[in-house]
Amino acid sequence: SQQGEEDPQALSIQEGENATMNCSYKTSINNLQWYRQNSGRGLVHLILIRSNEREKHSGRLRVTLDTSKKSSSLLITASRAADTASYFCASITGGGNKLTFGTGTQLKVEL
Interface positions with another protein (CB under 8 A): 4, 30-31, 33, 35, 41-45, 48, 88, 90, 92, 95-104
Q: Between 41 and 57, whose beta carbon lies closer to another protein? A: 41
Rg of the chain, C-alpha, whole Å: 13
Q: Do the Cβ atoms of 102 and 89 come closer than 8 Å?
A: yes
Q: Cα(49)–Cα(42) distance, rounded to whole angstroms? A: 21
Q: Between 25 and 88, whose beta carbon lies closer to another protein? A: 88
Q: Between 33 and 79, whose beta carbon lies closer to another protein? A: 33
Q: Do the Cβ atoms of 106 and 10 come closer than 8 Å?
A: yes
Cβ at position 66, least distance to another protein in Å: 21
